[in-house]
Amino acid sequence: MIAVRGYSGARIAVLGLGRSGLAAARALRAGGAEPLVWDDSADARERAGAEGFAVHDLTREGAWRDVAALIVSPGIPHLYPVPNRIIASAWAAGVPVDNDIGLFFRSVATDEWDNLETAPRVIAVTGSNGKSTTAALIHHVLTYAGRESQLAGNIGRGVMDIDPPGDGGVVVLELSSYQTELARALTPDVAVFTNLTPDHLDRHAGLGGYFAAKRRLFAEGGPDRAIIGVDEVEGQYLANQMAESAADDRLIRISAARKLDGPGWAVFARKGFLSEYRKGRQIASLDLRGIAGLPGAHNHQNACAAYAAVRSLGLAPKIIEQAFHSFQGLPHRSQLVAEAGGVRFVNDSKATNADSAAKALAAFPRIRWICGGLEKEGGLGPVLEQLGHVVKAYVIGREAGRFALQLGETPHEVSETMARAVARAAAEAAEGETVLLAPAAASFDQYDNFEKRGEDFIAQVTAALARTAEPG
């Protein structure tokens, strides 16, 4: 556990008692603070009370008396689409509002670090798509290389739950826009920006607010090294802001779309090969085509970002390449579930928006596509450009019929349920084709989350293949 520093003896309110909220309360208590916890859910309040926390009704008059700060769980909108009433009351009372990420950065470094031979490092990864895979890949490479590494944040453990890093240890954080938008301290040693596509627009009042939340990771504290994907204009803008000159190697530009020129430090992927350039010269090259855990151009972008991050810590290209080959990928992200009769079954349930689904479609040539769900703002734009890869679509979800109308001349059927979609796709798939779950939509119309949706896909694939294997 990371004990919170700077609040010893202070009364600190905690709003939201899920994983991050309870972890923050425990860390505050470990640091000598008095946590005052609240959640709209009576069950959540009861669980917190059972741990000995003081349940403090933040909706009542006078709730902020002698409260030094409010710590907010990331799932609670604080400003848009409308200000949260409890957070607004904290503003009115002059109580500073923070989150667990801010607590982490103000607390992780201690005086004990002065006695370590090599100070620990924090790598923070944000972006719209690929940040989970990138963070996990960085952690995997560091572990493969024998470096102490912990994976936390929006993936793995909560940031306050990790162990204090030891000599030369690295903490790898995946940070969502919900986490970066509110943190009062953001000071990673290495900050990574993968890409930007429209997502969470209601929460951030549009694309500009969404990008502003991501940009805070680079603007608030200033990382020692910035690794920035420049395949979108927002990344190009951010890269330009971070560098003092074209040769400033505190910035590493990455791309999965083009060769990057110039005197600076760059890592890019073209036609399945990753290249590293410094001062206009090629330093290293890796063949990504045979790496099963990183299929498709979108994963090659993730590989570039992870490569740049660990190179900035001094790891050798040969070690990185070896580690890439042993990376198995993440569940629900281009996850190879099964292969039978020359047909691959791939679970990309995490493809919850049109852009990420389009990248999944681009990774395979002949696809039986399972799609649909709770459609996000912006429609299917990027997906429509990749429909040439689709042999047939099988549309699921409560509004499957409306979703299917956007597919035009692409062969499709309205399946509604995962069970029917998988059964039909498996029965019709031919050798060389891929049955791909890449919904291009949220899961909440039928499932609690994208993980549950992916698990159902895996279960239905297993059942379909078992029926095929039955004699007679």
Domain boundaries, the chain: 11-98, 103-325, 335-466
Element (H, E) at 357: helix 354-362
| Residue 133 marked ligand-binding | yes
Per the structure block, which two tokens stand in for 457?
A: 């896909």
Instruction: Give the model's pLDDT for residue 472.
Output: 54
The pLDDT of 203-219, averaged and rounded, is 96
Neighbours of 173 (CB within 10 A): 29
Per the prediction, the chain carries an average pLDDT of 95
Banded model confidence at residue 471, pLDDT cuts 50, 70, 90 = low
* Predicted confidence (pLDDT) per residue in 180-200, tens digit: 999 999 999 999 999 998 888
Phi (first) and psi of residue 164, to 5 degrees: -55, 125
What residues pair up with 436 in beta bridges, in sequence order? Answer: 346, 369
E strands in 39-91: 54-55, 67-72
Instruction: Give the model's pLDDT for residue 469.
Output: 73
Banded model confidence at residue 58, pLDDT cuts 50, 70, 90 = very high
H-assigned helices in 233-295: 233-242
Instruction: Give the model's pLDDT for residue 198.
Output: 84
| Residue 131 marked ligand-binding | yes
| Residue 132 marked ligand-binding | yes
Fold of 11-98: Rossmann fold (3.40.50)
| Residue 129 marked ligand-binding | yes
* Predicted confidence (pLDDT) per residue in 368-414, tens digit: 999 999 988 777 989 999 999 999 999 999 999 999 999 999 999 99
State how far the Cα of 292 lies from the Cα of 267, in Å rounded to an integer.
21
* Predicted confidence (pLDDT) per residue in 95-128, tens digit: 999 999 999 999 999 999 999 999 999 999 999 9
Indicate the range of 95-104, 354-363, 432-441 predicted with least confidence: 354-363
Instruction: Give the model's pLDDT for residue 461.
Output: 98
Q: Residue 422: is its pLDDT beyond 70?
A: yes
What residues pair up with 198 in beta bridges, in sequence order? Answer: none
Which of 230, 237, 240, 232 shows the shortest CA–CA distance to 269? Answer: 230
The pLDDT of 306-310, averaged and rounded, is 98
* Predicted confidence (pLDDT) per residue in 327-339, tens digit: 988 889 889 899 9
Say what percent of the chain tops pLDDT 90.
Answer: 89
State how far the Cα of 397 lies from the Cα of 228, in Å rounded to an integer.
36
Instruction: Give the model's pLDDT for residue 376.
Output: 81
Instruction: Give the model's pLDDT for residue 167.
Output: 96
Banded model confidence at residue 292, pLDDT cuts 50, 70, 90 = confident
Q: Residue 460: is its pLDDT beyond 80?
A: yes
Domain 103-325, CATH homologous superfamily name and number: Mur-like, catalytic domain (3.40.1190.10)
Contact 124, 191 (CB under 8 A): yes
| Residue 206 marked ligand-binding | no
Neighbours of 442 (CB within 10 A): 18
The pLDDT of 453-457, averaged and rounded, is 97
State how far the Cα of 369 lies from the Cα of 406, in Å rounded to an integer.
14
Classify domain 335-466 by CATH number.
3.90.190.20
How far from each other are the two terminal CA atoms of the chain, in whole angstroms? 57
3-state secondary structure of 127: coil
